[in-house]
Chain A
Amino acid sequence: MAPTLLHHLLDGAGADDCPAIVEEAERLTYGGFRARVAALARRLRDLGLAPGDRVAILLPKSVRECVAIFAVSAAGGVFVPIHPSLRPRQVHHIVADSGARVLLTDAAHAAGLEGALDDCPGLRVLAEEVGPPEETGEDAAALPPGEPAPDGLAAILYTSGSTGLPKGVMLSHANLIAGTRIVRTYLGIGPGDRILSVLPFSFDYGLNQLLTSVEQGARIVLLTPRLGDDVVRALEAHRITVLAGVPTLWTLLTRAAPHLAKADLSALRTITNSGGSLALPTIERLRARLPHTAIVLMYGLTEAFRSTYLPPHEIDRRPDSIGRAIPETDIFALTPEGRRARPGEPGILHHRGPTVSMGYWKRPEDTARVLVPDPFPPPGTEPGFVCRSGDLVMEDADGFFRFIGREDTMIKTQGFRVSPTEVEAALMETGAFRAAAVIGLPDPSLGQRIHAVTVPAEGAPGTADVLQRLRTALAPHLVPRTIEAVAALPTTPNGKVDYKRLTAERAAAEI
Chain B
Amino acid sequence: MADVREAIFAFIAARNPGLPSGAVTGDTSLVTSDALDSIGILDLMMHLGDRFGVEIDEDSFDLANFASVDTLAHFIDDRRSDV
Cβ of A248 and Cβ of B14 under 8 Å apart? no
Mask of A231-267 contacts with B, CB within 8 angstroms, 1/0 = 0010000000000000010011001111100000000
Q: How far is the CB of B25 from chain A (nearest CB, A)?
A: 18
A230 interfacial by beta-carbon distance below 8 Å: yes
Question: Interface stretch among A69-77, A188-196, A394-402, A464-472?
Answer: A464-472
Q: How far is A227 from B37 in the complex, measured between Cα atoms in Å?
A: 8
Cβ of A445 and Cβ of B15 under 8 Å apart? no
Q: How far is the CB of A319 from chain B (nearest CB, A)?
A: 23
Contacts of B14 in A (CB 8 A): 464, 467-468, 471
Total interface residues in chain A, CB < 8 Å: 27
B38 interfacial by beta-carbon distance below 8 Å: yes
Q: How far is A249 from B11 in the complex, measured between Cα atoms in Å?
A: 22
Q: How far is the CB of A506 from chain B (nearest CB, A)?
A: 20
Contact A227-B59, Cβ < 8 Å, known A248-B38, A468-B14, A476-B15: no
Cβ of B61 and Cβ of A229 under 8 Å apart? yes
Q: How far is A257 from B58 in the complex, measured between Cα atoms in Å?
A: 6
Cβ of B17 and Cβ of A471 under 8 Å apart? yes
Which residues of B26-73 are within 8 A (CB) of A? 30-32, 36-42, 45, 58-63, 66
Contacts of A476 in B (CB 8 A): 15, 37, 39-40
Contacts of A248 in B (CB 8 A): 38-39
Contacts of A257 in B (CB 8 A): 58, 61
Report whether over half of chain B's contact residues are helix, strand or loop; otherwise say mixed: helix
Cβ of B15 and Cβ of A230 under 8 Å apart? no
A414 interfacial by beta-carbon distance below 8 Å: yes
B22 interfacial by beta-carbon distance below 8 Å: no
Q: How far is A239 from B27 in the complex, measured between Cα atoms in Å?
A: 32
Cβ of A227 and Cβ of B38 under 8 Å apart? yes
Cβ of B17 and Cβ of A227 under 8 Å apart? no
Among the listed A85, A258, A446, A468, which residue makes an inter-chain contact with B17, where contact means beta carbons less than 8 Å apart?
A468
Nearest to B42 among chain A residues (CB) is: A256
Contact A225-B38, Cβ < 8 Å, known A471-B15, A471-B17, A472-B18: yes
Among the listed B18, B41, B58, B62, which residue makes an inter-chain contact with A226, where contact means beta carbons less than 8 Å apart?
B41
Mask of A79-106 contacts with B, CB within 8 angstroms, 1/0 = 0000001000000000000000000000
Nearest to B63 among chain A residues (CB) is: A229
Nearest to B17 among chain A residues (CB) is: A472
Nearest to B64 among chain A residues (CB) is: A229
A228 interfacial by beta-carbon distance below 8 Å: yes
- Please indicate which of the listed interface residues B30, B41, B42 has the most CB atoms of chain A within 10 Å of its own CB: B42
Among the listed A230, A251, A258, A467, which residue makes an inter-chain contact with B59, where contact means beta carbons less than 8 Å apart?
A258
Cβ of A230 and Cβ of B63 under 8 Å apart? yes
Q: How far is A443 from B37 in the complex, measured between Cα atoms in Å?
A: 19
Q: How far is A414 from B75 in the complex, measured between Cα atoms in Å?
A: 28
Q: How far is the CB of A221 from chain B (nearest CB, A)?
A: 17
Contact A226-B61, Cβ < 8 Å, known A248-B38, A414-B39, A471-B14: no
Q: How far is A468 from B13 in the complex, measured between Cα atoms in Å?
A: 9
Among the listed B32, B37, B61, which residue makes an inter-chain contact with A256, where contact means beta carbons less than 8 Å apart?
B61
Nearest to A473 among chain B residues (CB) is: B17
Q: How far is A399 from B59 in the complex, measured between Cα atoms in Å?
A: 42
Q: How far is the CB of A63 from chain B (nearest CB, A)?
A: 18
Cβ of A85 and Cβ of B62 under 8 Å apart? no
Contacts of B60 in A (CB 8 A): 256
Contacts of B16 in A (CB 8 A): 471
Q: How far is the CB of B71 from chain A (nearest CB, A)?
A: 13
Contact A445-B61, Cβ < 8 Å, known A227-B31, A468-B14, A471-B15: no
Contacts of B30 in A (CB 8 A): 226
Which residues of A255-311 are within 8 A (CB) of B? 255-259
Contacts of A414 in B (CB 8 A): 39
Q: How far is A3 from B76 in the complex, measured between Cα atoms in Å?
A: 55
Q: How far is A121 from B30 in the complex, measured between Cα atoms in Å?
A: 39
Cβ of B61 and Cβ of A227 under 8 Å apart? yes
Q: How far is A252 from B15 in the complex, measured between Cα atoms in Å?
A: 19
Contact A258-B39, Cβ < 8 Å, known A226-B30, A227-B31: no
Q: Which 9 A/B pairs are nearest by Cβ-Cβ distance?
A: A472-B17, A256-B61, A229-B63, A258-B59, A471-B17, A258-B62, A258-B58, A226-B31, A225-B38
Give the interface of B toward A (CB within 8 A): 14-18, 30-32, 36-42, 45, 58-63, 66
Question: Could you write out 10 A-B pairs with CB less than 8 Å apart?
Answer: A226-B30, A226-B37, A226-B38, A227-B41, A228-B61, A251-B42, A252-B42, A256-B41, A258-B62, A472-B18
Give the interface of A toward B (CB within 8 A): 85, 225-230, 233, 248, 251-252, 255-259, 414, 445-446, 464, 467-469, 471-472, 476-477
A85-B37, A226-B31, A259-B62 given; name 9 further pairs at CB < 8 Å: A226-B32, A252-B42, A256-B41, A256-B42, A256-B58, A256-B61, A445-B42, A468-B17, A471-B15
